Amino acid sequence: MLKACGSEVSLIKFSTHNRLFRDILRTLLRASTSDELFVLDISGNRDAIRAASLYSRVLWIDHHVWSPELQPDNVEFLIDSTQRSATSIVSRYLSVFDFSSLADEIDVNEVRSEEGEKLRRLIAGIRFKFRGNFMERKLSQLSRDIANEGIEVIERDDYRGIREEFERYAVKSLENLTVRVLEKEGKRISVVFPENPVPTFMVLEELKRKSEEPIDIIAIVYLNKNGARVEFRTQTEENVLEIAKKFGGGGHLKASGANVSSERMEELLRDLGILTESSFERSYCEESPEESEKRSKSISENYSEPHAHESEREKTD
């Protein structure tokens, strides 16, 4: 979008499904004009759509699995869950295809190019190093730099430094990652509690190295003060979207997520078989399920997933 619209984009805001309603209202106070709003790569609910409709014209582009609860006349929806990334839909709409292949690689966690790998690690590094509005400014600047100078800008010294610093941190953080695989109702399930905030894609890479057979349901639990952000993935054809929906989340059939409250964490762990007496098919650590549960509760409430591939984004004008 920045490649096509350039300086016409006055404000970029990064949001999540749960914060979208609030963030759209805030943009009305901060934006220099309320003529147009672009909402990209994030699903919405009734309240968020109503807030968006306060703009004169809205273009809502997404590739997650959902249907708008209402469709105001001034809100145009382009939702296509068959696309690998929202960037692909944006590219087709604006006839700008410079970065769609890179976005597709990153969004479905099938990165094959060197540029794609460096870009997603740079984004993860910015989200690790910076917080709040400063992080948003850094991500916005990265977006503008790529749009104006091309993907080669990620090799700039400052961006390379952020990436390398993050990679050192991530390698150290993953050294003692505990991976346990259990079997429930014929399905292989793994629930992982990273003790440091590392991106989902890096946890999945570690799982692939440690598990010889594919895992049907993967739940990566990032504890926080309100409960946890849980990312659901699969290495088979399992539909993990239904699990996320049960806890108020969403996403894709093979990649979804939900913010799970403290009150519902026990329900989630029981659904996944962690709090039952199910026998483990294969164990990669010596601790029992009860010990694992106790350990997870002791992890600092401040740990949270730093919005990797699975981050939902909103861009506004």
- 20 phi and psi angles, rounded to 5 deg: -60, -45
Proportion of the chain above pLDDT 70, given as a percent:
84
pLDDT of residue 304: 38
- pLDDT average, residue stretch 274-300: 44
pLDDT > 90? residue 23: yes
Q: What is the pLDDT of residues 32-82, one digit of tens each?
A: 667 899 999 999 999 999 999 999 999 999 999 999 999 999 999 999 999
To the nearest whole number, what is the mean pLDDT of the chain? Answer: 84
Which band of pLDDT confidence, cut at 50, 70 and 90, is reported for residue 175? confident
pLDDT at position 276, please? Answer: 55
* pLDDT: which is higher, 213 or 308: 213
Which tokens go with 240?
């993990």
Which of 69-73, 176-180, 191-195, 240-244 comes out lowest in average pLDDT? 176-180
The token pair at 90 is 């944006």
What's the average model confidence in pLDDT over 260-277? 86
Whether the pLDDT of residue 278 is over 70: the answer is no
At 106-163, the pLDDT tens digits run: 998 889 999 999 999 999 999 999 998 999 999 999 999 998 999 999 999 999 999 9
Question: Are 216 and 188 contacting, i.e. CB atoms less than 8 angstroms apart?
Answer: yes
Beta carbons within 10 angstroms of residue 290's beta carbon = 11
- Using a 10 angstrom Cβ sphere, with 0-12 exposed, 13-18 middle and 19 or more buried, the burial of residue 109 is middle
The closest of 131, 155, 100, 140 to 10, measured between CA atoms, is 140
Confidence of residue 165 (pLDDT cuts 50, 70, 90): very high
Residue 73: its pLDDT value, please?
Answer: 97
What's the pTM value of the predicted model, to 2 decimals? 0.78
pLDDT digits (tens, 9 = 90+) for 85-102: 999 999 999 888 788 899
- Given a contact cutoff of 8 angstroms between Cβ atoms, the answer to whether 305 and 220 are in contact is yes
| pLDDT at residue 162, as a whole number | 97
Say yes or no to pLDDT of 242 above 90: yes
Please name the residue ranges forming H helices in the chain: 2-5, 20-30, 46-52, 86-94, 100-107, 114-129, 132-149, 157-173, 200-210, 241-246, 262-271, 289-298
Question: 59: Cβ–Cβ under 8 A, 6 or more apart, which residues?
Answer: 36, 37, 38, 39, 76, 78, 93
Per-residue pLDDT band for 179 (boundaries 50, 70, 90) equals confident
Closest CA to 307 of 205, 192, 227, 222: 222
Beta bridge mates, 39: 60
Rounded to an integer, the average pLDDT of 278-287 is 38
Mean pLDDT, residues 223-243 taken together: 94
Give the three-class secondary structure for 238. Answer: coil
At residue 96, the pLDDT reads 82
